[in-house]
Amino acid sequence: MKLIAVTDGCHSVVAVAEKIIAIKDVIDFVQIREKSKSVQEIVTLIEYIVNNGVKKEKIIINDRLDVALCLDIPTVHLPEHGLPLRMVKQRYPHMRVGCSVHSFEKAKEAERNGADYVIYGHCFKTKSKPGLPPNGIEPIVHMKKELSIPIYAIGGITFDTLQSIQAVKADGVALMSSIFASDDPYSTTKKFSEAIYDEK
């Protein structure tokens, strides 16, 4: 399984950069998801973490294709209602493009349109989606049977729910608040990394 850290948009550029740099060696990818920050702030953040040892291959830019292209970041992640996935893949075939999905049908559609991976959620109840019932993990079972691209799970994933994600054979987990709301992001992330590694 792979481990993706997803920024939560709740910290300053410097604070989120320090958290990313602290966990860079115990994650597979970090998704820069900073919807409230300006493009200039996102560029500053990415340049700072790259200059401090975070490999570009580990960085996923959420939504901002322009930023990914300008900074030579090889992976962009599209929201379910973002830029048309097929268009992005056709125009920039060298890029790795992922997509957020919330159902088996949308995951299948994303693969048909050229997605290199999908992040499915939200799997469990989570504070980042207040009032919205979770979509559960059963769709992952169907995705693993019919899709050939990696499927990552997101939403309410804790040490208690991780085993359920492993049981349905997801290719990895994407963690937001578990990491970025933690007072000690490195220790928390390392524990998740070890738990995932132990199951390999």
Tens-digit pLDDT profile for the chain (200 aa)?
999 999 999 999 999 999 999 999 999 999 999 999 999 999 999 999 999 999 999 999 999 999 999 999 999 999 988 999 999 999 999 999 999 999 999 999 999 999 999 999 999 998 777 788 999 999 999 999 999 999 999 999 999 999 999 999 999 999 999 999 999 999 999 999 999 977 54
Marked catalytic residue, from 77, 81, 122, 142: 122
β strands within the chain, DSSP E: 2-6, 29-32, 59-62, 75-78, 96-101, 117-120, 151-154, 172-175
CA atoms within 13 A on the CB side of 76: 24
pLDDT of residue 80: 86
Whether omega before 122 lies within 30 degrees of 0, making that bond cis, reads yes
- At position 122, the amino acid (one-letter code) is H
Walk me through the domains of the chain, giving residue ranges and CATH numbers: 2-198 (3.20.20.70)
- Kindly state the tokens that stand for 47: 């340049």
Catalytic: 122? yes
pLDDT at 200: 47
Is the separation of the CB atoms in 17 and 48 below 8 Å?
yes
Residues 43 and 3: their CA atoms lie apart, in Å, by: 23
Which pLDDT score is estimated for 199? 56
* CA nearest to 182, candidates 19, 45, 25: 19
* pTM, entire model: 0.95
Q: Are residues 56 and 50 in contact, defined by beta-carbon separation less than 8 angstroms?
A: yes
Q: What is the pLDDT of residue 127?
A: 77
CA distance 37 to 50: 18
